[in-house]
Amino acid sequence: MMSHDYDLFVIGAGSGGVRAARIAAQHGARVAIAEEYRIGGTCVIRGCVPKKLMVYASRFADEFADAAGFGWTVGETRFDWATLIANKDREIARLEGIYRSNLAKAGVTILESRAVVVGPHAVELVATGERITAGTILVATGGRAEVDERLDGVEHVVTSNEMFHLEHQPRRLVVAGGGYIAVEFASLMAGLGTETTLVYRGEEILRGFDREVRRHVHAELERRGVRIICGDIFSRIEKTADGLDVTLRSGGRLVADTVMMAIGRRPNTAGLGLEAAGVALDAKGAVVVDAQSRSSVPSIYAVGDVTDRFNLTPVAIREGHAFADTVFGGRPVTVDHRLVPTAVFTTPEVGTVGLTEDAVIETGRAYDVYRATFRPMRATLSGREERMLMKLLVDGETDRVLGCHIVGPDAGEMVQLIGIALKMGATKADFDATMAVHPTAAEELVTMRVPSERHPARLPAAAG
Ligand SMILES: Cc1cc2nc3c(=O)[nH]c(=O)nc-3n(C[C@H](O)[C@H](O)[C@H](O)COP(=O)(O)OP(=O)(O)OC[C@H]3O[C@@H](n4cnc5c(N)ncnc54)[C@H](O)[C@@H]3O)c2cc1C
């Protein structure tokens, strides 16, 4: 039998790669992991975690303002960007340390270098030129922010990566994009006091989310002072004495201190040597894998954002774990990508699981909509103009809850638990049979008795 330097070589120490490396090592494999930037990957270093810390920071302004209605007098408040960034960086460094020590404790060799694939069983470390062989290679290189390189003045834009390290808080920010990263940054920066404009080429922000969620978030963000321009894109950015001058295709002009581009993310496969090794990629550059995360080359697997399946941390972790159990634990595991609950950390927050109404309509089945829009209790005394949205989509025949969409405080927390119910196949009758927790906002989910709308089944369109 041919002997390799390692049983497993993982490229990329992010959510998926770290989990796969640790579990494979626990199964007894000799494992090495290469990382070109920082251990922990996008989520820990420049994604979910720093973003959520900044979201928390952005919500204090509401707390101060709302306190008055409850009898509090809050003195002068002031926000200091440098303090937030420094404290956030300290926490990220702490987490990075934990990731590193967990890998070391599991016996995984950490190689701090970019790695490229040079054959079905071989990688090369770019830092040293060293060639290393492995029985199995796992590509877990994640994704990277896409930037429109043809844009005149593109050199002036930043992506989410740089937003976490801006030296000064911008007084005026323009964000291009309508996906969750663009919308979250627009929301949090506005909360921190930055004058924020979001420019999105499509008709409505948050494509892929339920249409009512999209409209609701749009309206709530505008109410909170975010300017949203849909159906337009940048045509040029110029640096002037007053800042960055953004010209829109419509002819409109915006002036900003910082321009952020969040128009999408691409799988990180450029220059990785995968094509030369015979690994099939799709049109977007994602590694094409089967249900067990195996690529077209039997010794090369891929997990996480680089496969462009469901680009979320818990999914990457689950895929990494399943890979390690399947290949090194002798226990084949297939990840179930159905009913993935997810949140958008705007203020107000979105929590969603299951089908959107448009996706239900596409199936042609009969369905009922249960909808509640209401003022959260806290807003009564605070006087804050804010509405919460809860929407359940229910199969008209089987009574199964097909989708749940929430916009409002703690929506992400709520939908994590609703996700369990939906995964178990809960029906609307199960929701009705569940006693409410009072007084909460979540109780609306189990007290919506009468459908807001009933939609009959639609016959499939006649062929020809
Ligand atoms: C701003 C932002 C906010 C986000 N918020 C959320 C959220 O709230 N919730 C959520 O679930 N998800 C969120 N995500 C998505 C989440 O971060 C990703 O889905 C997740 O990190 C994917 O994990 P991964 O293992 O596939 O890749 P990553 O975590 O991206 O890890 C890939 C690693 O590979 C390294 N690498 C790449 N190429 C090489 C190479 N050739 N050699 C060596 N190393 C290499 C990279 O440096 C990186 O460390 C967010 C993403 C961003 C950008």
**CA 228 to CA 268: how far, in whole Å?**
30
| pLDDT bracket for residue 47 (50, 70, 90) | very high
| Smallest CA separation from ligand 1 atom 7, residue | 48
Number of the ligand 1 atom closest to the C-alpha atom of 113: 43
Distance, CA 150 to ligand 1 centroid (Å)? 25
Residue 55 has pLDDT above 90, yes or no: yes
| pLDDT bracket for residue 198 (50, 70, 90) | very high
Distance, CA 365 to ligand 1 centroid (Å)? 37
Give, as one character, the DSSP assignment of residue 400. B
Q: How much is the average pLDDT of 34-54?
A: 98
Residue 118 has pLDDT above 60, yes or no: yes
Element (H, E) at 379: helix 377-382
Q: Which of 451, 339, 351, 355 is nearest to 403 (CA)?
A: 355
Cis (ω within 30 of 0) for the bond into 439?
Answer: yes
| pLDDT bracket for residue 306 (50, 70, 90) | very high
Q: How much is the average pLDDT of 125-134?
A: 98
What is the chain's mean pLDDT, rounded?
97
Q: Which of 120, 239, 238, 262 is nearest to 187 (CA)?
A: 262
CB 320 within 8 A of CB 16: yes
Pocket of ligand 1 (CB under 6 A): 11-17, 34-37, 41-43, 47-48, 51, 114-116, 140-142, 160, 181, 268, 272, 304-306, 311-314, 316
CB 264 within 8 A of CB 179: yes
Q: How much is the average pLDDT of 226-254?
A: 97
Tokens of 269: 């496969």
Q: Which of 38, 274, 313 to mutate to test the pocket of ligand 1 (most atoms within 8 A of CB)?
A: 313
| Smallest CA separation from ligand 1 atom 3, residue | 47
Distance, CA 140 to ligand 1 centroid (Å)? 9
Amino acid present at 432: D
Number of the ligand 1 atom closest to the C-alpha atom of 163: 1
Distance, CA 41 to ligand 1 centroid (Å)? 5
The reported pLDDT for the residue numbered 460 is: 67
The reported pLDDT for the residue numbered 464 is: 43
Residue 332 has pLDDT above 60, yes or no: yes
Q: Which of 15, 19, 42, 312 to mutate to test the pocket of ligand 1 (most atoms within 8 A of CB)?
A: 42
CA angle 377, 382, 383 (to 5 degrees): 95
Considering all CA atoms of the chain, what is the largest pairwise distance in Å, rounded to the nearest integer?
76
The reported pLDDT for the residue numbered 461 is: 58
Cis (ω within 30 of 0) for the bond into 267?
Answer: no
In sign, the C-alpha dihedral spanning 108, 114, 117, 123 is negative
Q: Which of 79-83, 96-100, 179-183, 379-383 has the lowest mean pLDDT?
A: 379-383
4, 218, 438, 455: the active-site residue: 438
Distance, CA 384 to ligand 1 centroid (Å)? 36
Distance, CA 137 to ligand 1 centroid (Å)? 18
In sign, the C-alpha dihedral spanning 431, 432, 434, 437 is positive
Amino acid present at 216: H
The reported pLDDT for the residue numbered 222 is: 98
Number of the ligand 1 atom closest to the C-alpha atom of 303: 26
Number of the ligand 1 atom closest to the C-alpha atom of 311: 19
- The strand pair at 258-261 and 131-139 is best described as unpaired
The reported pLDDT for the residue numbered 462 is: 53
Q: How much is the average pLDDT of 15-23?
A: 98
Tokens of 307: 């496969």
Give, as one character, the DSSP assignment of residue 267. E
Number of the ligand 1 atom closest to the C-alpha atom of 43: 17
| pLDDT bracket for residue 106 (50, 70, 90) | very high
| Smallest CA separation from ligand 1 atom 6, residue | 48
Give the three-state DSSP class for 370: strand
CB 95 within 8 A of CB 44: yes
Q: Which of 23, 37, 39, 43 to mutate to test the pocket of ligand 1 (most atoms within 8 A of CB)?
A: 43
Distance, CA 75 to ligand 1 centroid (Å)? 40
pLDDT digits (tens, 9 = 90+) for 439-462: 999 999 999 999 999 999 987 655
| pLDDT bracket for residue 212 (50, 70, 90) | very high
Contacts 24+ apart (CB under 8 A), 380-383: 381/69, 381/70, 382/65, 382/66, 382/67, 382/68, 382/69, 382/70, 383/69
Q: Is 321 a catalytic residue?
A: no
Number of the ligand 1 atom closest to the C-alpha atom of 34: 43
Residue 378, judged by CB atoms within 10 A of its CB (0-12, 13-18, 19+), counts as: middle
Q: How much is the average pLDDT of 98-110?
A: 98
Tokens of 15: 């959510």
pTM for this model (two decimals): 0.97
The reported pLDDT for the residue numbered 1 is: 47
The reported pLDDT for the residue numbered 459 is: 73
| Smallest CA separation from ligand 1 atom 5, residue | 48
Residue 145 has pLDDT above 90, yes or no: yes
